[in-house]
A and B are shown apart, each in its own frame.
Chain A
Amino acid sequence: MTHQFPALTPEQKKALSGIAQRIVAPGKGILAADESVGTMGSRLQRIKVENTEENRRAFREILFSSDASINQSIGGVIFFHETLYQKDSSGKPFPDVIKDKGIVVGIKLDKGTAPLAGTNGETTIQGLDGLAECCAQYKKDGADFGKWRAVLKITDTTPSTLAIQENANTLARYASICQQHGLVPIVEPEILPDGDHDLQRCQYVTEKVLAAVYKALNDHHVYLEGTLLKPNMVTAGHFCPKKYTPQEVAMATVTALHRTVPAAVPGICFLSGGQSEEEASLNLSAINQCPLPKPWKLTFSYGRALQASALAAWSGKPENKKATQEAFCKRAQINGLASKGQYIVSGKSDAAAKQSLFTASYTY
């Protein structure tokens, strides 16, 4: 603990921090288009489209060929491995299509969950083997950031100390390896919304998990200014009987982050979890209006919450391309506004209604 053996040169630090700032530039967030083959299967099944490589390519092409002005709302796109090496109809590699719009290319790096024996169904994440070589190759092939998703769940007995500590540690190892290869690591410690726990319980667990994550990042000598955080918002469990407003979700979320995420982290890009498109946008906007000090950008890294309408509009038919793009661009713009706290749904008596809910009796 006494001597520094610098992990990165000043030039490496500057490059990483520059990439991170570009991704979370004001009004911008991330399109998480990194659904694995299996996950795309679930999405396509719902719109009755066959899960073939060509269909996956076609859908991503529609999104990626949206008008270049999408770059005002989208700072980064996360790719799945297969997609990084696919091309559009004119033969242009997808990473180039994205980069030509001034958007940063990212790549999912983890290899899914693996069980932690002796726990109540908890998991860690695999993918560290050969990760350095993978990162080096992806960097050559156009990626500038990586994503790695760790998963925790809330029940009566979880998350356990082991699960928190083990997932924090693998996130830190992944982050360290990424930075060595010029990739900005997005650190994603997702706490699932499954369960009937209330808002306060989620806030408590989120604070413990994030404290462990940042201690691990510090222990592993990770350069925080060259990272991004992708956490869950603090919400009640799906089956919680009590309903909470976006303002309550916002206050709980920002309070938790406030207590755990150092100001050096340039941006926090929320996952949408099981939220609907509208819910995810309203919550993000409320978060950006929360009166607590917010020294990091607070934006989105949405998968379903950016693509649900687009998928429905497409339904696998090429003639629906324009409608698909419109649906996608609309959500992108709305979330861009939300990331500046400017997405207000008209018809609600905003200012007054919002104000009263900030002074809720529930102790944060």
Chain B
Amino acid sequence: MTHQYPALSAEQKKELSDIALRIVAPGKGILAADESVGSMAKRLNQIGVENTEENRRLYRQILFSADNRVKKCIGGVIFFHETMYQQGDDGTPFVSMIKDKGIVVGIKVDKGVVPLAGTDGETTTQGLDGLSERCAQYKKDGADFAKWRCVLKISENTPSALAIMENANVLARYASICQQNGIVPIVEPEILPDGDHDLKRCQYVTEKVLAAVYKALSDHHIYLEGTLLKPNMVTPGHACPTKYSAEEIAMATVTALRRTVPPAVPGVTFLSGGQSEEEASINLNAINNCPLARPWALTFSYGRALQASALNAWRGQRENESCATDAFMKRAEVNSLAALGKYEGNGDDSGATGQSLYVANHAY
């Protein structure tokens, strides 16, 4: 612990930090288009479309064909491996289509969850083997950031100390390897919303998990200014009988982050989890209006919450493509406003009535 053996040169640090700042520039967030083949199966199944490579290509093309308005809303796109090497109808590689709009290309690099024996159904995430070589290749092929998702869940006995520690450690190893290869690691310790726990419980667990994550990042000599965090918002479990306002969710979320995420982290890009498109936007907007001081950018890294309407509009029909792109563009613009705290909502008066709910009793 006494001597520094610098992990990165000054130039490497600058490059990483610049990439991170570009992704979370004011009003911008991330399109998480990195659904695996299996996840795409579920999405396509819901709109009655067959899960073929061509259909997945056609669908991503819809998103990537958005016009220049998208530049102001989207700072980065996360790709799945297959998609990195696909092209548009005219032969333009998807990676080029995105980079030409000035948007940063990212790549999902984890290889899914595996069980932790001796726990109550908890998991860690695999993907470290050969990760360095894969990162080097992805960097050559156009990627400047990566994503790795760890999963924790809240129940009577979970998350256990082992699950928290092991997932924090594996996230730190991944982050270290990424940075060595000029790739900004997005660190994603997702705590699932499954369960009937209340807001306070989620806040408590989120604080413990994030404290462990940042201790692990420090232990592994990670350059925080060249990372991004992708956490869950602090919300009650799906089956919790108590309902909370967007302001309560915002206050719990920002409080948890203020207690654990060092100011050196340039941006926090929330996952949308099981939230609807509108919910995810309203909550993000409330977070950006929270009266506590927030030293990092607070923005989105949404999958379903950016794509649900687009998928529905498309339904696999070529003639619906332009309509589907518009549906995506609309959510992108809404979330861009939310990332600036300027989203007025869907016509309901959430603007005015929202204000009074900041003084909730719930002790954070």
Interface residues of A, Cβ cutoff 8 Å to B: 1-4, 6, 9-10, 13, 154-161, 164, 200-201, 204-205, 207-208, 211-212, 214-215, 218-219, 224, 255, 258-264, 293-295, 361, 363
* Residues A261 and B154 in contact, CB atoms below 8 Å apart: no
Other than the given A2-B156, A262-B258, 14 more pairs (CB < 8 A) read A1-B160, A1-B205, A156-B2, A159-B1, A164-B1, A201-B3, A201-B4, A204-B4, A207-B218, A219-B211, A262-B261, A263-B261, A263-B263, A264-B259
Other-chain contact of B201, A4, A224, A294 (Cβ < 8 Å): A4
Q: Which of B214, B294, B361 has the most CB of A within 10 A?
A: B214
B157 close to chain A: CB less than 8 A:
yes
Binds A, one of B5-13, B231-239, B328-336, B347-355: B5-13
Asked, given contacts A4-B201, A207-B218, A263-B295, whether A13 binds B260 with beta carbons under 8 Å apart, the answer is no
B211 to chain A: which residues have CB within 8 Å? 214-215, 218-219
Q: How many A-B residue pairs have CB under 8 A?
A: 103
- Whether the pair B293, A218 counts as a contact (CB closer than 8 A) is no
Do residues A224 and B259 form an inter-chain contact, with CB atoms below 8 A? yes
Q: Which residue of A lies closest to B155 (CB)?
A: A2
Within B253-302, the residues touching A (CB, 8 Å) are 255, 258-264, 293-295
A156-B2, A207-B218 given as contacts; is B363 within 8 A of A2 (CB)?
A: no
Set A204, A215, A262: member contacting B259, Cβ < 8 A: A262
A163, chain B: closest CB distance, angstroms: 9
Within 8 A of A (CB), among B290-320: 293-295
CA distance A296 to B157 in the complex (A): 36
Residues of B within 8 A of A218 (CB): 207-208, 211, 259-260
Provide the residues of chain A in CB contact with B10, threshold 8 Å.
361, 363
- Are the CB atoms of A363 and B9 closer together than 8 Å? yes
Residue B159 CB within 8 A of the other chain: yes
B220 → chain A, closest Cβ, in Å? Answer: 11
Which single residue of chain A is at the shortest CB-CB distance from B13?
A: A363
Cross-chain contact A157 with B160 (CB below 8 angstroms):
no
> Out of B154, B161, B225, B295, which one reaches A295, CB within 8 Å?
B295
A260–B205 touching, CB < 8 Å = no
Q: Shortest CB–CB separation between residue A232 and chain B, in angstroms?
A: 16
Q: Does B204 touch A at the CB level, under 8 Å?
A: yes
Measured CB to CB, the nearest residue on chain B to A158 is B2
Chain B 178-219 residues near chain A, CB threshold 8 A: 200-201, 204-205, 207-208, 211-212, 214-215, 218-219
B2 surroundings in chain A (CB, below 8 A): 154-160, 205
Q: How large is the interface on B (under 10, 10 to 19, 20 to 34, 35 or more residues)?
A: 35 or more
CB-nearest residue of chain B to A294? B263
Beta-carbon nearest neighbor of B265 in chain A: A259
Per-residue CB proximity of B338-364 to A under 8 Å, as 1/0? 000000000000000000000001010
Known A1-B208, A211-B218, A363-B13: A10·B263 in contact at CB below 8 Å: no
- In the complex, 30 of the A-B residue pairs with CB atoms within 8 angstroms, ordered by the A residue number, are A1-B205, A2-B156, A2-B157, A2-B160, A3-B204, A4-B200, A10-B361, A13-B363, A155-B2, A159-B1, A159-B2, A161-B1, A164-B1, A201-B3, A204-B3, A208-B1, A211-B218, A214-B215, A215-B212, A258-B263, A259-B264, A262-B261, A262-B262, A263-B293, A264-B258, A264-B259, A295-B293, A361-B10, A363-B6, A363-B13
Is B175 an interface residue, CB under 8 A from the partner? no
B164 close to chain A: CB less than 8 A: yes
**B224 contacts partner chain A, Cβ-Cβ < 8 Å:** yes
Q: Does B158 contact A (CB under 8 A)?
A: yes
The 3 closest A-B pairs by CB, nearest first: A10-B363, A211-B218, A218-B211
A219, B208: Cα distance in complex, Å? 8
Nearest chain-A residue to B261 (Cβ)?
Answer: A262
| CB contact under 8 A between A263 and B1, given known A2-B160, A4-B201, A258-B263 | no
Query: Within 8 Å CB of B258, what residues of A?
Result: 262-264
In B1-58, the 8 Å CB interface with A consists of 1-4, 6, 9-10, 13
* Pair A1/B159 contact, Cβ less than 8 Å: yes
Give Cα A260 to B217, complex, Å.
11
Q: How many Å lie between the Cα of A219 and that of B201 in the bound state?
A: 16
Measured between beta carbons, the chain A residues less than 8 angstroms from B293 are 263, 295
Pair B205/A2 contact, Cβ less than 8 Å: yes
B352 CB to nearest chain A CB (Å)? 27
Complex formed: what's the CA distance from A331 to B150 in Å? 52
CA A247 – CA B6 in complex, angstroms?
22
A218 CA to B261 CA, complexed, in Å: 12
Bound together, the chains give a CA A258 to CA B295 distance in angstroms of: 10
Contacts of A215 in B (CB 8 A): 211-212, 214-215
Which residues of A have CB within 8 Å of B159?
Answer: 1-2
